[in-house]
Structure 1
């Protein structure tokens, strides 16, 4: 079990009673400012009117636009349209996780958010399930189940944490794997059933480590590989003695730094 926010979480390293635990969704963070949906960088998200008309006009709320596990790229395509496709937006959910304009610690903001969502009463706008766990084995079991089902991991949010836009000591991201990004610098042709298609990509990290990624691609992505110079996100499990990510597998093309 590993964390990329506050170090490795092990039994006894923190008091689980002090944390709310939720699944880390593979979506796009969005903030409702009382008038419009925006990305975390402040850029507008052009959602259909019916999607936002039930959102509060005086309370800022924050959440994740989400379709489902493993559907980030489909979601990103929908969100980028300046003229929203109403039919495609039918698949999108706004999964709420904080209310920045509510004063008080996270437990207070969460209670206000839960009350607010009941008044909104829309099936596609709801609060992310927050669990209270008492034992480390429960956390480990939950994390493994989410990972097995293709999820990203879990978030541990301290009950007394003040709102902070960005990384916070009271917010821990926990995964069974690690994620990173690299730039595509070349290809390797496929063999066997992948003959005539892309077999692997060669990438280079920001610290000039070059290595090959050959798994995680769909048949469509192998037939139409992402262009050289583009940034990809990949998943891995630790490093070799030479500093190369172990078991690297492709997750997605990172087309926009804003999402």
Structure 2
């Protein structure tokens, strides 16, 4: 097999153990919209946005947001209550790659899983609005027998200035951003302003359609990705890649995250730069 074919197949082969794992329909999870200055904050709770992988506990089994079964060690899941929980599998600030590697492994690495925490921020099956569900969550967690399962700390949001100050502090400490939950919201498996993400830059996700050959110093390797947004818009994503990533680009069909600075009148992102492969979204899944 020639070098170009290896470059194209390498990432796909790396993803195979995860995408071929036992799968079910993707859970209907709340999806976040983007916070913008001027939005009212009076009814929101604010918490840190953890840089990990979305985890859904259905009361018996742990799943990714794309519907793949997570092969966690038995000791990790055995103490969990028979109550659906929505949260983030997280190895700590700045350790997204470690989290993905651990969670995707279908032969669980016991030592690596000791570094994973399940940060729970909602109880999808609990009746009532988010403030009511939060009260129930605080009674349910933490668990003495499972200190790796924790409720996400939540505080009432106040003003935009306070929110920006908290965002700046969180980012300085290595955090990714903040999340806002509307207190009066019911749990609905869709994207809405009931859940907002607050980050120092705009970001989004897109699915890889093709590899665009490079030119100049990138001849012989990937120059850009042709990607498609969940809304069906297509564009070339060519910035933000290391030389190693251009040698082994994200596989066709996978989802990637990118950052950008606003959008054009046609809705395309301006100055889009690659961030990372979203290993927690299956090739056939929709973005969230």
Q: TM-score if structure 2 supplies the norm length? A: 0.72
Q: Give 1:19 shift.
A: 0.9
Q: Please tell me whether the aligned partners of residues 46 and 178 of structure 2 are also in contact (alpha carbons under 8 angstroms).
A: yes
Which residue does the alignment assign to 2:62?
A: 37
Which residue does the alignment assign to 2:214?
A: 188
Q: Please tell me whether the aligned partners of residues 142 and 151 of structure 2 are also in contact (alpha carbons under 8 angstroms).
A: no
How many residues align? The count is 249
SS in structure 1 of the partner of residue 142 of structure 2: helix
- Note the 1:88-99 alignment, pairs <5 A: 88-99=112-123
Q: Which runs of 5+ in 1 are unaligned?
A: none
Which residue does the alignment assign to 2:180?
A: 156
> Is 1:115 aligned with 2:139?
yes
CA-based RMSD of the aligned residues comes to: 3.1
Cα offsets for 1:99-121 (capped at 9, x unmatched)? 12332221121122122213345
Q: Give 1:137 shift.
A: 0.1
25-34 vs 104-113, which deviates more?
25-34
> Is 1:134 aligned with 2:172?
no
Q: Please tell me whether the aligned partners of residues 214 and 221 of structure 2 are also in contact (alpha carbons under 8 angstroms).
A: yes
Q: Please tell me whether the aligned partners of residues 185 and 204 of structure 1 are also in contact (alpha carbons under 8 angstroms).
A: no
Q: Give 1:95 shift.
A: 0.4
Q: Give 1:70 shift.
A: 4.5
95-104 vs 75-84, which deviates more?
75-84
Q: TM-score if structure 1 supplies the norm length? A: 0.79
Cα offsets for 1:158-205 (capped at 9, x unmatched)? 1121122232442223333131314243132574xxx78857424243
Question: Structure 2 residue aligned with 1:171, among 182, 195, 202?
Answer: 195
Q: Give 1:218 shift.
A: 4.4
**Distance in 1 between residues matched to 2:182 and 2:258, nearest whole Å:** 29
Which residue does the alignment assign to 1:125?
A: 149
> Is 1:250 aligned with 2:235?
no
Closer/same/farther in 2, CA of residues 234 and 190 from structure 1, 3 Å limit: farther
Q: Give 1:21 shift.
A: 0.6
> Is 1:47 aligned with 2:60?
no
Closer/same/farther in 2, CA of residues 8 and 157 from structure 1, 3 Å limit: closer
Q: Give 1:231 shift.
A: 4.2
Q: Which runs of 5+ in 2 are unaligned?
A: 1-30
